[in-house]
Amino acid sequence: MKNETVASDHYTVARFWRCALQINPSGYQSRYRGSEHGLDETTYNQQLLDQCLTLGIKVVGIADHGSVDAVDGLRRFLEPHGIVVFPGFEIASSEKVHMVCLFPEGTTRDQLNRYLGRLDLTDVQDTVWPSRKTCLDLAQIIFELGGFWYAAHMTGSNGLLRLNQDGGGLVHVWQNETLVKAGQIPGPLKDLPANYKDIVLNKNPDYRRAHPVAMLNAKDVAKPEDLADSGATCWIKMTRPGFEGFLTAFKDPESRIRLGPLPEAHYSRLEALNFHGGYLDGINIELSAHLNTVIGGRGTGKSTLIECLRYVLDAPPLGLAARRQYEDIVKANLGAGGRIELSVVSHVQNGRHYRVSRRYGELPMVKDDRGQISTLQPRDLLPRIEIYGQNEIFELARDPVRQTDILNRFLPGGTALTGEIYAVAKRLAENREKLLAATRQKDDLQAQVGRLPKLTEQVQQFQLLGLESKLALVPKLEREKQLSKRVSEELDRVADGLTSLGDSLPDTAFLSDKALDGMPHAEVLVRMRCTLDVLATEIGKHVEDFRKLHGESTAVVNAQQTVLKARLAEESAVLEKVFASLPAFAGKPGRDVGRAYQELLREIEAIRPSETRVATINKLLHELDTQRRNLLDEFAQACDKRSEELRTTVKKLNRKLEGKLRLNLKIGGQRKALKEFLLLLPGLGEKKLAWIDQSGDDLTIPALVQGIRDGENALKTLTYDWGMQNSVVETLARLDRSHLLELEEIDLQDRIQIELNVAHQGELFKPLDQLSTGQQCTAILHLLLLENDDPLLMDQPEDNLDNAFIAERIVTQLRGAKTERQFLFATHNANIPVFGDAEWIGIFSASDAHAQMPSEAQGSIDVPEIRERVAEILEGGREAFSQRKEKYGF
């Protein structure tokens, strides 16, 4: 992340400040290097100031050889511009080790001269002469005086490491952890010669220390332009630039000292949070891009902060209990009229800044970096943000589906693959509906066609009465009526087709002159537009011609239908006379017998087309069955691809989590969807479905469906492998087609089996279901801390966790992850803000039914007031931190 500047007197977030820790006065060049830079003292000082402002240097250390005469002159130029000055000097020990000694800002020149007087220099006039005291003796005095020293140009001729390797016998100095904290090297660690690099990286057993020496870039600055040399400056993390924060940095150099700036942050961040109204009214927070922690007594507002962030981001919890708690907290603490404003940087929106605000009872509003209302929603800005309230980690530890969802974010295919599987599943569901509809239609048609033999037999009975010859015209007239109806249907079908064709003509509005304005190849697109316009015009003409022809044809047919209808009416009148002349039969008048015969023939003629339609439906069913087989294969391939990506991801994550967590992939191991489906069937309860979780890898949806299709006997053979009860077999064997097709579409997703290393030394991995509650939560936390471009917010992640696991595992992982992702934790556990080295610690207190967190209650552990409050609130006060002396300096 680029170094930031703060134009405010309120420093509430620890950040890396650029420091030049060995600046020399104007006379140094001529006095010690035998050359001139051609600048008088005022010009030299002004150019130094200009360089500091240009390069963003916030802290300088002034260290002339054994002299402090020029300190005040430099200070007068730098300090009015907000540059912090650590005055000091450079001296040599009796072993000729060069030491840069710095003191708190504000230390006067007279004080510095008195300090020099205590160092037993052999010649106070010739400032390059060494002291009579050893390096460690001098170091002890410097620390007693409230100063700090580092070994200057360690690999140079008068450097601590070079002198030792030249026979100086200074290993004991290097290994003194109390008095030797830091040393200067000329550039990046990677450029050090191998013999020095192994020592600096604490890999040389002869120089081994419990804690490595902190490395600095602090090249001698003898000319203003020397400041631009990459070896002249380093970056030190402090809340407020000053000596207090500077000293704290060397208690945790791994986290707080960089030889180069952090790279640009390319992940999402919550930047600033403001509350208006409600319990948190007036609280304004600037968050760090790295690790943020909220502490405070119980009931002061920590959980409220997390839940209110959830509210403004419109990201409620999934669980019912957690959701109720969330809604209660937001309602009670935000209240009617309360409003939250949140500044966000969105990775998925290419690093753009947005401001999200939400008033209680209303929807969130998003504004872009120009202050314009955006159509985007909070989820569009932070699609992968993870927020967990109290005990939600424990719930997550018991939900294998959500555990696998965590890993899905690491899939190379990611959202695209999930979308592909969803799309195929949707097409399968549509295919199922079409299949069932076609089957029902076929059943209806077959039911009608099935009546033909009975109707035909009844016709034969009428024929035995001798009616066939007298009423020979009846079946022909009924057939003509059906044919007349079919003619009208054909005309209607053509009309629908013409309407559809007319609606499908090309629309070139999207290629308007305005849309093409400024396009680099507009002339090509214009030609395409012309082609589409010609196509639309020509087809349009034909459509109009066809519509005209259709209208003419319809008019002709309607006239012909009128003629046919009149003739059929005439024939019907004739038939009525024939019916009236028929003899009575079985007590029925001849007229009724004739009409019954006519009705019977009419029904037969209405059914006959169904015989042809059955064949058409059979063809459609065949096509739908073929389509379904292809879709099922496509679905299986997409799931296989997901499994393969998960398998690759698991291997990668196992390498990252080596020694902490071990992941195994069980293909199709998530059986919850199958169980939920079968529970809807009558007679199947939890106990009868226990076989689903107990069966092995051979339980797959295709195998189960095939067993059901093969019948009850075939299904019973699977009982031995899967452990189904006979009643379950009977229920499944009776499954109707609708349920069977639905069963066929169930996605048994893969399951991640998690094993945690429970040994504090060595390895002893145990699966999740054999772990204690705290160990389960520890395992899940390891996964949640892995890379994600969006923030992770958690309320009391330490709940149910073992303190040793937090300190040894979680905090270690967190320290590495926080440079690539933003975290915000509300916590009661000191390990997270202290050993995690939180860049922002916000301390809640409460009075008059309102939470309080003024800017003075925000900062990092290097701020004395923050350090005192952390010790007071977390783990019971100072006494509980007695073993943390190295970190706190008590």
Which amino acid is it at 200?
V
Which pLDDT score is estimated for 6? 42
Cβ contact 715:701 at 8 Å: no
Non-local (6+) Cβ contacts of 769 within 8 A are none
User: Quick one: residue 291, left, alpha or beta (phi over 0 = left, psi -120 to 50 = alpha)?
Assistant: beta
Specify whether the CB–CB gap between 410 and 649 falls below 8 A: yes
Say what angle helices 400-408 and 773-784 make with each other, to 10 degrees: 20
pTM (predicted TM-score) = 0.77
Sign of CA dihedral 667, 669, 673, 679: positive
Cβ atoms of residues 272 and 287 within 8 Å: yes
What residues have CB less than 8 Å from 451, skipping those under 6 apart? Answer: 607
Say which residue the tokens 């104007």 belong to: 26
- Residue 584: what pLDDT? 67
In this structure, the number of other CB atoms found within 10 A of the CB of residue 412 comes to 10
Rounded CA-CA distance 619/438 in Å is: 10
CA distance 853 to 284: 8
pLDDT in the model for residue 413: 59
826 Cβ contact partners less than 8 Å away, ≥ 6 residues apart: 293, 294, 295, 302, 303, 305, 306, 794, 795, 796
The helix/strand/coil state of 163 is: helix
DSSP letter, residue 830? T
b/e map 288-314, b = 16+ CB within 10 Å = bbbbbbbbbeeebbbbbbbbbbbbbbe
CA gap 752, 407 in Å, rounded: 8
- Nearest CA to 791 out of 831, 829, 840 is that of 840
Characterize 416-449 residue by residue with b for buried, 16 or more Cβ atoms within 10 angstroms of its Cβ, and e for exposed.
ebeebbeebbebbeebbebbbebbebbeebeebb
How far apart (Å, rounded) are the C-alpha atoms in residues 89 and 62? 7
Q: Residue 290: which H helix or E strand, with range?
A: none
Write out the two tokens for 371. Answer: 């202050």
Which residue shows structure tokens 């060995």? 22
Residues 285, 855: Cα–Cα separation, whole Å: 8
DSSP tag of 3: -
**DSSP track, 705-753:** HHHHHT-HHHHHHHHHHH---HHHHHHHHT--HHHHHHHHT-----EEE
> For 269-409+799-888, which CATH class?
alpha beta
Kindly state the tokens that stand for 851: 């939470």
Q: Are strands 214-216 and 182-184 parallel, antiparallel or unpaired?
A: parallel
How far, in Å, CA of 759 to CA of 869, rounded? 34
The answer to whether the 15-258 and 269-409+799-888 domains have the same CATH topology is no
User: CB-based contacts of 737: which residues, under 8 Å, 6+ apart?
Assistant: 436, 439
What DSSP character marks residue 115? Answer: H
CA 662, CA 677: separation in Å to the nearest integer?
Answer: 31
Looking at residue 634, its pLDDT comes to 95
Answer for the pair 356, 312: CB distance below 8 angstroms, yes or no: yes
Question: Tokens 């001139």 sit at which residue?
Answer: 36
**Assigned token pair, 5:** 């500047």
Residue 605 token pair: 């003629």
**Cβ 250 vs Cβ 181: under 8 Å:** yes
Pairing mode of beta strands 840-847, 661-666: unpaired
Which token pair is 498? 């013409």
Kindly give, in sequence order, each residue whose CB lies less than 8 Å from that of residue 615, ignoring residues fewer than 6 positions away. Answer: none
What one-character-per-residue DSSP string does 554-593 give? HHHHHHHHHHHHHHHHHHHHHHHHHHHHSPPBTTB-HHHH
Distance of CA 868 to the CA centre of its chain: 36
Rounded to 5 degrees, φ, ψ at 349 are -100, 30
Asked if residues 74 and 99 have their Cβ atoms less than 8 Å apart, the reply is no
User: What is d(CA 875, CA 24) in angstroms, rounded to the nearest whole number?
Assistant: 46
Helices (H), 465-521: 467-470, 473-503, 513-516
CA distance 287 to 269: 9
Tell me the mean pLDDT per 10 residues along the chain, length 890.
46 96 88 80 95 97 91 94 96 93 96 93 70 95 97 90 82 95 94 92 93 95 94 96 96 94 87 94 95 92 94 90 89 87 96 96 95 96 91 82 76 71 94 92 78 74 63 75 88 93 92 92 94 94 94 94 90 74 68 73 73 83 94 94 89 90 90 92 89 86 90 76 85 92 93 88 90 85 87 88 75 90 91 92 89 95 92 66 49
In this structure, CATH architecture of domain 15-258? Alpha-Beta Barrel (3.20)
Question: Side chain identity at 694, as an amino acid letter?
Answer: Q
Which residues fall within 8 angstroms of residue 888, CB to CB, at 6 or more apart?
Answer: 834, 861, 867, 871, 881
How far apart, in whole angstroms, are the C-alpha atoms of residue 603 and residue 482?
Answer: 11
| 825: DSSP letter | E
What's the sign of the alpha-carbon dihedral 551, 556, 562, 565?
Answer: negative
Sorted by where each begins, the domain ranges of the chain are 15-258, 269-409+799-888, 419-632
List helix spans (H) across 582-668. Answer: 590-656
Q: Contact at 8 Å (CB) between 326 and 389?
A: yes
DSSP state of 844: E
3-state secondary structure of 310: helix
What single string gives the DSSP state of each residue in 269-300?
EEEEEEEESSTTTT-EEE--SSEEEEEESTTS
Q: Strand 148-151 relative to strand 98-102: parallel, antiparallel, unpaired?
A: antiparallel
Residues paired with residue 622 on neighbouring β-strands, in sequence order: none
pLDDT of residue 471: 64
Q: Is-contact 684 678, C-beta < 8 A?
A: yes
Q: What is the DSSP string of 46-93?
A: HHHHHHHHHHTEEEEEEEEES--TTHHHHHHHHGGGT-EEEEEEEEE-
CA 428 to chain centre: 29
Q: At what angle do helices 712-722 and 701-709 cross, to 10 degrees?
A: 140
**Is residue 789 within 8 Å of residue 345, measured between CB atoms?**
no
